[in-house]
Amino acid sequence: MAVYTEIVDEDLATFIAQYEIGEALSATGIVEGVENSNYLLNTKEGRFILTLYENRVDPADLPFFLALIEHLAAKDIACPLPVRARDGKVLRELSNRPAAIFTFLAGMWPRRIQPYHCGELGKALARMHLAGEDFTLRRSNDLSVQSWRPLLCRSADRADEVQQGLAEDLEKELTNLELNWPDSLPSGVIHADLFPDNVFFVGPRLTGLIDFYFACTDMYAYDIAICMNAWCFEVDGSFNVAKANRLLMSYRVVRDFSDDELASLPVLARGAAMRFLLTRLYDWLYTPADALVTKKDPLEYWKKLRFHQGVTGPEEYGLA
């Protein structure tokens, strides 16, 4: 569910009048997503996306996100471009929420991931990493290894309600990650949340990347690990090495890996699984039943973490 804030027609008309995009004809809520309220906006000039930023997004981070999207779009990375109002501003207020309008991207996210999707993703991710190299703003990753112990502490006393022994298992794994987490790999702007529903395709062609609201400055290989977890496992929990091979080989055609990145990929994949496991675990245990947030099974990422614990080198991800 991703329409938390309803818009009054009169407020919408006043808001749209500040832009040169024509009169609003309709605004239809988009139910996919979890962080913000999104509307498909039809005006006399075309289609746009209207986003109202909800309480889960820190308003202080919005200038970083919006500037990054503009920077990437200027480098020919396919992503929604913020529309500036007549006064030149991107960010305004609507219904007591920070709000922005974006250009519309054609396409749909893939419900059944095929290897060619992973190949397209790998190339797009590498191009995005290269395009962000000269982006001057920085934002720390608030959901990296330094945040995982506080997250675990918030859920540890109830973790065994999800699976017996889970709290102890997570404590052991976290200690291992803290001891072995790399800190000198190539870094820059990463998306940090490039799940399939944030990537649009028309047929076999990738047409856009969306939802940069976890973007931050961190290791490129960590971004790859997040994508590998999100795109290369099947519904039954099995790892699809053919998909991983297409993702990684397509990425390295555009931006090759360093030896240290390759060696660190298994621990980064474990960390990426831990990050989403812990946030899902907290939401699973503490989100009220009537909240407009879809809870996701944390054990999906426990199974992925367990797979990566058995990986000894990048060749098990399909790299020669």
Q: Is residue 222 over pLDDT 90?
A: yes
**What is the rounded CA–CA span in Å between residue 247 and residue 227?**
9
In the predicted model, what is the mean pLDDT of the chain?
94
Mean pLDDT over 140-149 rounds to 96
User: What is the reported pLDDT for 3?
Assistant: 65
The tokens 């065994």 sit on which residue?
A: 160
Query: Domain-by-domain residue ranges, the chain?
Result: 9-103, 115-317
The residue with greater pLDDT, 168 or 29, is 168
Secondary structure E strands in 44-140: 46-52, 92-94, 97-103
Q: Partners of 202 in the beta sheet?
A: 205
User: What is the reported pLDDT for 145?
Assistant: 97
**22-26, 29-33, 89-93, 131-135: least confident range:** 29-33
Host H or E run for residue 104: none
**32-36, 195-199, 256-260: least confident range:** 32-36
Residues 97-117 have pLDDT tens digits of 999 999 999 999 999 999 999
CATH code assigned to 115-317: 3.90.1200.10
Q: Is residue 2 over pLDDT 60?
A: no
Residues 14-32 have pLDDT tens digits of 999 999 999 999 999 887 6
Superfamily the domain 9-103 falls into:
Phosphorylase Kinase; domain 1 (3.30.200.20)
**What is the rounded CA–CA span in Å between residue 79 and residue 95?**
26
Q: Partners of 50 in the beta sheet?
A: 39, 101
User: What is the reported pLDDT for 54?
Assistant: 87
Host H or E run for residue 202: strand 199-202
User: What tokens does 16 get?
Assistant: 């749209």
Mean pLDDT over 3-14 rounds to 88
User: What is the reported pLDDT for 1?
Assistant: 41
Give the rounded distance of the alpha carbon of 176 from its chain centre: 25
Q: Is residue 294 over pLDDT 60?
A: yes
